[in-house]
Amino acid sequence: MYRVGISPSWTIRRDGVATPLGARVVDLLVGVDEQGSLAAACTAQGVSYRHAWQLLREGEALFGQPLVRMTRGKGSLLTPLGERLVWAQRRVQARLAPLLDTLASEVGSEIEKLLSAGTNRLRIHASHGFAVQALHEALQRDAREGFSHELKYCGGAEALAALAGGQCDIAGFHVPIGRFEPAVLAHYRPWLASRSLRLVALATRRQGLMVAPGNPRRIYGVADLARPGVRFINRQPGSGTRVLLDLLLAEAGIAPSQLRGHEQCEFTHAAVAAFVASGMADAGLGVEVPARSFRLEFLPLEQERYFLLADERTLQTEALQPLLALLASPGFQADVARLPGYEARDTGRVMTLDEAFAGTGTPARPPPAARRRRGARPPDPVPEPAPDPVSIGPAPSAPPAPPDR
């Protein structure tokens, strides 16, 4: 398997001259921030202390200001400029990493097609999450001869639409546990019509509010987001987290327009955390992993299950066996369980839609009269009302679903 990595680079333009800022300089600054000293950062990154100082001096010469200060008995401290470069690097990574991973996966797949005929390629479209990221990394790490995969991060509805339209082999999406489950299933129902669809449990995770350390704005729930002066950072329309937010707002009787920043969006949980950590917003909704990474406080609100969806016949193919074996392995399940806010509950279990959602009171699939006949033009989808009518935003138009088998 050919693995492709794509990384952003820094170029600083000063007095009309563009000079690259070495990636190792920024990495060292991040290491100092995380480890507390330059010596510890050097050990963690495998760089000699002498070479590290040379790199930092080159960076300081580029900016004309120091980046690190040595303090007796306290290790190394970042200067305000060093702190800002670390913040910028983390925000760049948070915003671009999923996009770059998707592009790298697509490029690697194209190279694989040209150079390795006969390779089984598994196409995965999935809502971004850290269990999915762990799965992607594990599949790359444990790649077998004759098997490869490509991953595209997108919203849950977009992933399901891609599966129904034949653009991918497996789709990843998440559904809240409890009172919001029927409404979210109704939102996804246009793509859940076939009897041959099967769910594979990936993880259970917590969603909650990410706020600044110490919670200075005293934000404890969704209702506090509508207070005057509170700034919010949202997720993009079509994402499962955006759907969850709209349901929480409707339950609290809050119009989205009451949130300052509701229209401002980021495309990943990590990007939301970085936005809050930078001080540009007071709160955002997301999972716990990036909140811990950015040293934010996390206020749990809901639990949800993350599933992989595929046709039963696809699950029986040779291309899916490495993935199913990995999901069932104790090592991978331990990796998922180590993620803050995640549980490897039922990871790898294959089930029907009715088995997974038996307790909701709302069937996962449309009733028989609503299912489409072979070759028939699908009618315009009509959303079914949830138990408490709410608006969770438009879903992408659904392609014709495959016939029941």
Residues 356 and 275 in one domain: yes
Alpha carbon distances (Å) from 25 to 48, 51, 94, 202, 312: 13, 11, 19, 37, 49
User: Above 70 in pLDDT, residue 380?
Assistant: no
- Looking at residue 145, its pLDDT comes to 54
The β-bridge partners of 265 are: 234
Whole-number mean pLDDT of the chain?
84
Tell me the C-alpha to C-alpha distance, in Å, between residue 80 and each of 50, 75, 87, 165. 23, 16, 11, 50
Give the list of residues 6+ apart from residue 25 with CB closer than 8 angstroms, or none. Answer: 55, 56, 58, 59, 67
Domain for residue 393, yes or no? no
- Domain end (from 95, 117, 139): 117
Task: Give me the pLDDT at residue 120, please.
Answer: 65
Q: How many domains does the chain have?
A: 2
Q: Is the pLDDT of residue 197 over 60?
A: yes
Q: How confident is the model at residue 18 (pLDDT cuts 50, 70, 90)?
A: confident
Of 56, 88, 117, the residue that ends a domain is: 117
Residue 172 lies in a domain: yes
Six-digit token pair at 126?
A: 């999935």
401 domain-assigned: no
Helix (H, G, I), strand (E, B) or coil at 108: helix
Which CATH number is 35's domain given? Answer: 1.10.10.10
Cα–Cα distance between 269 and 186 in angstroms, integer?
24
Name the DSSP letter for residue 261: T
* Mean pLDDT value of segment 339-345: 96
Cα(189)–Cα(193) distance, rounded to whole angstroms?
7
State the distance between the two ends of the chain, measured CA to CA, in whole angstroms. Answer: 35
pLDDT at position 96 = 77
Residue with tokens 């040779």: 318
Distance CA 133, CA 151 (A): 9
Same domain assignment for residues 190 and 315 = yes
Model confidence at 175: pLDDT above 60: yes
Least confident of 83-87, 108-112, 191-195, 242-246: 108-112
Is the distance from CB of 82 to CB of 30 less than 8 angstroms? no
pLDDT at residue number 20: 85
Please check whether residues 113 and 127 belong to one and the same domain. Answer: no
Over residues 272-279, the mean pLDDT reads 91
The answer to whether 317 and 109 are in contact (CB under 8 A) is no
State which of 70, 88, 117 marks the end of a domain. 117
- Number of other residues whose CB lies within 10 A of the CB of residue 218: 10
Q: State residue 148's pLDDT score.
A: 78
One domain for residues 274 and 177 = yes
Q: What is the pLDDT of residue 273?
A: 93
Nearest CA to 118 out of 147, 94, 97 is that of: 147
User: What's the pLDDT band for 238 if we cut at 50, 70, 90?
Assistant: confident
Report the half-sphere exposure of 256 (CA within 13 A, side-chain side): 17
Range of the structural domain that residue 148 is part of: 122-365
**Domain identity same for 147 and 216:** yes
Same domain, 255 and 288: yes
Question: How far lies 129's CA from each of 59, 211, 290, 335, in Å?
Answer: 34, 19, 10, 14
153 and 49, same domain (yes or no): no
Q: What is the 3-state secondary structure (H, E, C) of 3-61?
A: CCCCCCCEEEEECCEEEEECHHHHHHHHHHHHHCCHHHHHHHHCCCHHHHHHHHHHHHH
Write down how long the chain is.
405
Q: Which residues contact 102 (CB under 8 A, 6 or more apart)?
A: 151, 152, 153
**Same domain, residue pair 245 and 131:** yes
CATH number of the domain bearing residue 179: 3.40.190.290
- pLDDT tens, residue by residue, 38-60: 888 899 889 898 999 899 998 99
| Per-residue model confidence (pLDDT) at position 402 | 43
With beta carbons less than 8 A apart as the criterion, state whether 4 and 108 touch.
Answer: yes
Q: Which helix or strand (DSSP H or E) is residue 376 part of? A: none
* Residues with Cβ within 8 Å of residue 146, at least 6 apart in sequence: 118, 119, 120
Does some domain include residue 404?
A: no
CB 229 within 8 A of CB 321: no
**pLDDT beyond 80 at 403:** no
Within a domain: 372: no
Least confident segment among 114-118, 146-150, 220-224, 284-288: 114-118
Closest CA to 80 of 69, 93, 94, 91: 69
Please report the pLDDT score of residue 114 as a whole number: 63
Q: Determine contact, residues 364/192, Cβ cutoff 8 Å.
A: yes
The pTM of this model reads 0.74
Residue 385 resides in a domain = no
**So what's the pLDDT on residue 174?**
96
Residues 109 and 129 in one domain: no
Task: Tell me: pLDDT of 75 over 80.
Answer: no
Diameter of the chain by CA atoms? 77
